[in-house]
Structure 1
Amino acid sequence: MSLYSALYAGVSGLGAQSTAMATVADNITNVNTVGYKGVTAQFSAMVTGSGSRNSYTAGGVTAAPQALISAQGILQSSARLTDIGMDGAGFFVVRSSTAPDAPIAFTRAGAFAPDKNGYLYNQSTGYFLQGWPLDANGNYVNNGSLDALRPVDINALSGSATATSTLSARINLQNSSPAVTAYTPGDMNSGTVTPAFSRPIDVYDSQGGAHTITLSFTRTGTNEWAMEVSGGGTLLRSGTVAFNGNGSLNLAGSTAGLFDNLTGIDWGNGTDLQTISLGLGSDGGLNGLTQTGEKSTLYSYEANGGLMGDVASVNISESGVVSAVFEDGTIRAIYQLPVATFQNPDGLTAISGNAYVASLDSGTPSINSAGVSGSGKIAAGKLEASTVDLAGEFTNMIRFQRAYSASSKIITTVDEMLQELGNIKR
């Protein structure tokens, strides 16, 4: 009977509008939730298939909530350096704890801060940020497996020691310095010849102990200098440095192998034998050793390594490299953050804590560094705002309320018609 189908259609309308109102309630209450993606109610007509030319059977309506997970929220500035936003496609990879077998989840809520142990986690949801640990050279291996990720621990290197592996310097030698009449390799190290210019540079062994390597120079002729590299009272390297007429370095005229790596350095304290790469300029360049009329001086130098103290702050680049800044000013890259992308991000399954898990509809995640293979870039010191449009939600609230009232009116009207039908018998 068509009247009964109209009654059921009214009931389905009440259910559908209730579902739609629930999405509005969730959206409005999460208007300030970081990384929240608004939910819309998609209405669909239900057809019984029993209609005919002379009668019609109502099917009603159903509502299917759809989260617009792929929508991009506005990136807003944050006062915390460890807060990160995603500019583009993709999700941060998180776990519910620091255990390596804890369940994996994906989120755009980047309000991360160190916990008491130094792990970056979302304080409001309790999820821990995951990344690839970097080796001493800043490298990592992406084998596509989520199991290779580890919780980001900003204190991972605190108290550890790294041996100096590179030493570079920019030094100018004055072309009017007096030339020595007699020189034998090792004379500056032994004190027989006083260097025209000499500078000590601190380096570190494998246990973080400080040592001094001294670069000494004395002019031996036109555009020609003797150089000695010494450390721990031992002569490590000596030879002739040649310069071109414009004061740039002439490698062809210099002693072969003079600028090669220093190998097998033994500090005599039980630490590992050390190899240090020398960066003293390129052939014909002005980026290392030079010779001009200016006074001999050390413009700049850099030697890595040392004993890592406490972490003073954290830097996160747009490519997702997490670097620890130590109290002595040393900066070390410690993690590479992955960005997980999906073929159908709107098909992800939402879970508590403003996070998602993969589903059959979303497909499996692809993990890459930020900005690679379609993944978004990371914005440090920013947070992604909720995608909810408050004005639009209030408009929807009015629509759904009116539709709910209209559906209830269908029920009361059908009830009156059925009552009239029952009165015919009387």
Structure 2
Amino acid sequence: MAFTQGVSGLNAASSQLDTIGHNIANSQTVGFKKSRTEFADLYAGAKAGLGVQVSAITQGFSQGALETTDRDLDLAIQGGGFFRLTDGQQVTYSRNGQFQMDSNGFLVNNTGGKLTGYPVDDPTSANPVVLAGAQPVAIQVAQGDLDASATTSGSMTFNLNSTDTAKVDTNGNAIAFDATNPKSYNWQTSLTTYDSQGNAQQVNMYFVKSATADNSWTVHALNKGNEVGTSNLTFNENGKITGGDTLNLSFNPNNGAANINANIDLANVTQNSGSFVVKAAGQNGYAAGSLTGISIADNGDVMGKYSNNQSRALGRVALASFTNEQGLKPDGNNAWVATTNSGQELLGSAGTGQLGSLLSQTLESSNVDLASELVTMIVAQRNYQANAQTIKTQDQILQTMVSLR
């Protein structure tokens, strides 16, 4: 019987050494998760026992070290979850975030598996919405240009000098506003807007201090010499705006594009001591732009970056988790497939529920501890030698019995 016990021990120790060797071989594999050989004794009604068997090879899904890189498409999951990949036939799961964009705009790993995620409702929209509840699809980055968008709103923040005086002539009469006459206005600035074809339309703004009312100004907006909007600004004794806080622009760019109708928010304009200074100015229009690159946000949003300084969500990386990660079946190429033991995939966005956050320009290293594996290998080797010794001892006993006279 000792032969059977010894052989079972040799087989078990050999299996453990195989597992350790596999771990060591993949100590530099991105996203690799180490395994462990677990044993159970064999009795089958025998008092002395029949030896040992490999009861399971379990996987350890502990977090690997995070290392920064210089690639926008390198991703790491900090916390729970797996990347969800498809080759068109089978869905696999991985912690390896080494992605690249193929010739068709799909985000793929080194074996061609396509990263899946949630699509957006309208990729051509100025403000696409991610459909986080939809079925994940292979993420594809559209290579077309981003269409131009006309200005419809904007805002400006500036301070008007409270010590300024009205522009009057030698007789004390207010000088009529004339954009070509600098003596008819106190200050001037400009705001670039865009028409529906993406052409820049310069709007020049002139500020005239009232000659008849304290704390009152008139702003004249001109495009190509034509007045396209006006607003009367009033302030209280503390310099806070009390009226005219919206400048309505309306004009025809006269180039075949649609009329521009935009509301410029002036709610943060003040009238205090000090020089006229524009602190902030912006609007929501832009010219057409071509794709210059992509990046991935912490929540998994795939953001397209365009030459017109715009960015748009093109989709969102979907992460998957499982009730029983140990039930996942290794499928090679650093990936797993779901089984009945793992349960169905539980999908979600990064940072929700038990799913970790996503880090771009980062990779998760193997969670193999080389020092620990080498120590375990020494123990497994001694175990193998010890079991071999039991077989040798049993052989000597049998030889002694055969030699009896």
Give the TM-score, by structure 1 length: 0.78
Aligned to 1:173: 160
Q: Measure how far apart 1:165 and its partner are.
A: 4.2
Q: How far apart in 1 are the matches of 2:228 and 2:322?
A: 55
- The equivalent residue for 1:365 is 345
- Matches of 2:102 and 2:380, distance apart in 1: 43
- Aligned counterpart in structure 1 of residue 22 of structure 2, from 26, 33, 36: 26
The TM-score with structure 2 as length reference comes to: 0.82
CA positional deviation for 1:271:
4.5
- Would the alpha carbon gap of residues 206 and 102 (structure 1) be closer, same or farther in structure 2, given more than 3 Å must change? farther
Asked if the contact 2:156–2:282 (Cα under 8 Å) also holds between the matched residues in 1, the reply is yes
Cα RMSD after superposing both structures? 3.5
Q: Could you tell me which residue of structure 2 aligns to residue 379 of structure 1? A: 359
Given the superposition, is the C-alpha separation of residues 165 and 9 from structure 1 closer, same or farther in structure 2, using an over 3 Å criterion? Answer: farther
Distance in 2 between residues matched to 1:367 and 1:244, nearest whole Å: 55
Aligned match of 2:265 in 255, 262, 279?
279
Matched, 1:129 2:115: yes
Tell me how far apart the structure 2 counterparts of residues 24 and 301 of structure 1 sit (CA, whole Å).
Answer: 62
Q: Provide the residue aligned with 2:336 in structure 1.
A: 356
Q: Distance in 2 between matches of 1:398 and 1:292?
A: 79
Spell out, residue by residue over 1:250-298, the C-alpha distance to the aligned partner (whole angstroms, 9 max, x if none). 1xxx24xx627768x65455545655453322xxxxxx32223333333
C-alpha deviation, 1:131, in angstroms:
3.4
Q: Note the C-alpha offset of 1:312.
A: 4.5
Partner of 1:225: 217
> Could you say if the C-alpha distance between residues 419 and 105 of structure 1 is closer, same or farther in structure 2, counting changes exceeding 3 Å?
same
Aligned partner letter, 1:91: F
Q: Distance in 2 between matches of 1:395 and 1:12?
A: 22
State how far apart, in whole Å, the 1-side matches of 2:235 and 2:336 are: 63
Counterparts of residues 216-255 of structure 1 (less than 5 Å): 216-220=206-210, 221-231=213-223, 235-250=227-242, 254-255=243-244
The amino acid across from 1:29 in the alignment is: A
Q: Which residue of 1 aligns with 2:246?
A: 259
1:306 is paired with a residue whose SS is coil
Shift of residue 168 of structure 1? 2.0
Report sequence identity in percent. 29
1:363–1:235 Cα change, 3 Å = farther
Name the CA distance, whole Å, in 2 between partners of 1:18 and 1:276: 76
Does the aligned pair in 1 maintain the 2:166–2:174 contact within 8 Å? no
The residue number in structure 1 matching 2:69 is 78
Q: How many Å separate the matches in 2 of 1:384 and 1:311? A: 28
Which residue matches 1:285?
none
Aligned pairs, number: 394
Aligned pairs (5 A) from 1:1-400 = 3=1, 6-48=2-44, 50-51=45-46, 56=48, 58-69=50-61, 71-96=62-87, 101=88, 103-122=90-109, 124-134=110-120, 136-137=126-127, 139-143=129-133, 145-146=135-136, 149-153=137-141, 156=143, 158-175=145-162, 176-179=164-167, 194-220=184-210, 221-231=213-223, 235-250=227-242, 254-255=243-244, 259=246, 267-269=253-255, 271=257, 276-281=262-267, 288-327=268-307, 329-400=309-380
Report the secondary structure of 1:178's partner residue.
coil
